[in-house]
Amino acid sequence: MRNEEAPSGRFVERFAAELAEAGMQRMASRVFAALLASESGSLTSAELSERLRISPAAVSGAVRYLNQVGMVSREREPGSRRDRYVLHNELWYETFTRRDQVLTRWETVLRDGAETLGTDSAAGARVAETADFFAFLQKEMRGLLDRWQEHRAATAREGD
């Protein structure tokens, strides 16, 4: 038997499918899920290629995307030609922090739109309220993530 991680393969594909349905690229989803389920939270290109049965080119593309959105970083193994792709340590904190930037961009578009539509129109008011919502969300998200860090640190201490 070649693949000793076989039982985890099922989880990888299930979770990847969820991510894909939520709008993430399919290969990126699979690579991310594979990293999540790997023992060290990191894999080489060859390992990913073998486990997911995809070409090195597909790994390359997926990793480029995951790197851009800040979920995975690349590390060169010292004294080797292999790269390792590794999950961020504060994965969810970092990922959601970055998502903030999207909210900022949306808010800008919405504020511009509200202005164009005019503060006196119902449409303008509705768009302005949407901008408010995203501003609110952004503000709340900071506190939320800090509470998560705290929660996480506390749980980790218990686990000692």
Rg value, the chain, Cα: 20
Q: Using the rule CB under 7 A, is 61 a contact of DNA?
A: yes
Neighbours of 27 (CB within 10 A): 23
Distance, CA of 124 to CA of 118 (rounded, Å) = 5
Beta carbon nearer to DNA, 14 or 64: 64
Candidate ranges 5-13, 79-87, 99-107, 152-160; the one touching DNA (CB under 7 A): 79-87
Residue 63 binding DNA, by CB under 7 A: yes
Residue 103: CB atoms within 10 A of its CB come to 17
Binding interface with a copy of itself (CB under 8 A): 7-8, 10-11, 14-15, 18, 22-24, 36-41, 87, 91-92, 102, 105-106, 109-110, 112-113, 116-117, 121-123, 126-127, 129-130, 132-133, 136-137, 140, 144, 147-148, 151-152, 155
> If contact means CB under 5 to 8 A according to the sort of partner, which of DNA, a copy of itself, none does residue 27 touch?
DNA
Interface of this chain with DNA, residues 85 to 104, rule: CB under 7 A: none
Partners of residue 73 on adjacent β-strands? 86
Inter-CA distances, 97 with 18, 45, 70, 151, Å: 21, 27, 10, 17
Query: Is residue 84 classed as helix, strand or coil in its secondary structure?
Result: strand
**Please, what is the minimum distance in Å from the beta carbon of residue 117 to DNA?**
24
**Alpha carbon distance 44, 62 (integer Å):** 13
**Binding of DNA by 18 (CB under 7 A):** no
